[in-house]
């Protein structure tokens, strides 16, 4: 009997700041179809069902996120978080209910803004899943020009953008 595992996530996504705005940086590893997402990590919400709605339950959890996907035409893609998708990219569907009618069902709802004191995860995918970058809005002021917040040994650290891109390319080639 043969079994297979999914490839491990790679350090191919990072967070930069340009003109005070958070920017996702994704090294695509030459893959066409790519995606970038940001989601709330430390707040759990439950959906409030509409009266008489048989599909909703009071215990339905909500996954609050924003994302875009498309065919990458460059090796490095930059996307402003919660901004307009790059040309040829599309915003992810804002509301999806997953798992009904089971008790573990959850609803995917749009992330309208980034709030102070909320921990977020920045993820992505190109040829493989990206290692998630954890951040709060307070981190934006720490990220200087030419720097990114990127994954390194299980934590998100500041590093020169050139080093991040080189490390990401090395994982693409490996």
Task: Report how far Cα 131 is from the mean position of its chain's Cα atoms.
Answer: 9
Predicted confidence (pLDDT) per residue in 138-158, tens digit: 999 999 999 999 999 889 999
Task: Tell me the C-alpha to C-alpha distance, in Å, between residue 8 and each of 12, 66, 69, 94, 171.
Answer: 12, 23, 21, 28, 11
* DSSP category for residue 138: G
**Using CA atoms, how far apart are residues 20 and 45, in angstroms rounded to an integer?**
29
Determine how many CB atoms are found less than 10 A away from the CB of residue 12: 30
Please give the pLDDT value at position 1: 53
The β-bridge relationship of strands 76-80 and 45-46 is unpaired
Percent of residues, the chain, with pLDDT higher than 90: 57
Are residues 122 and 12 in contact, defined by beta-carbon separation less than 8 angstroms?
A: no
Please give the pLDDT value at position 174: 67
Domains and CATH numbers, the chain: 13-42+66-91+114-173 (2.60.40)
96 or 121: which carries more pLDDT confidence? 121
H-run or E-run covering 150: strand 147-152
Determine how many CB atoms are found less than 10 A away from the CB of residue 53: 9
Lowest mean pLDDT among 6-10, 95-99, 109-113, 164-168: 95-99
Lowest mean pLDDT among 97-106, 119-128, 139-148: 97-106
The β-bridge relationship of strands 61-71 and 106-110 is parallel
Please give the pLDDT value at position 9: 81
Res. 2: pLDDT tops 60: no
H-run or E-run covering 172: helix 161-173
The stretch 17-29 carries a mean pLDDT of: 95
Predicted confidence (pLDDT) per residue in 42-84, tens digit: 765 655 556 666 555 555 677 889 999 999 888 999 999 999 9
Question: Is the model's pTM score more than 0.95?
Answer: no
**Using CA atoms, how far apart are residues 167 and 12, in angstroms rounded to an integer?**
8
The stretch 18-28 carries a mean pLDDT of: 96
Please give the pLDDT value at position 59: 56
Determine how many CB atoms are found less than 10 A away from the CB of residue 106: 19
């Amino acid at each position: 009997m043969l079994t297979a595992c999914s490839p491990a996530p790679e350090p191919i996504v990072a967070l930069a700041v340009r003109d005070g705005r958070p920017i996702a940086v994704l090294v695509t590893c030459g893959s066409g179809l790519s995606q970038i997402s940001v989601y709330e990590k430390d707040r759990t919400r439950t959906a409030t069902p509409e009266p008489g709605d048989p599909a909703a339950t009071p215990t339905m959890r909500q996954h609050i996120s924003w994302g875009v996907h498309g065919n990458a035409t460059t090796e490095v893609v930059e996307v402003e978080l919660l901004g307009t998708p790059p040309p040829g990219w599309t915003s992810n569907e804002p509301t999806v209910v997953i798992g009904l009618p089971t008790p573990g069902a959850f609803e995917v709802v749009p992330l309208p803004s980034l709030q102070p004191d909320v921990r977020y995860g920045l993820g992505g995918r190109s040829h493989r899943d990206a290692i998630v970058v954890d951040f709060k809005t307070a981190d934006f002021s720490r990220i200087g020009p030419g720097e990114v917040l990127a994954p390194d040994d299980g934590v998100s650290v500041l590093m020169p953008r050139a080093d991040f891109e080189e490390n990401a390319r090395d994982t693409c080639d490996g």
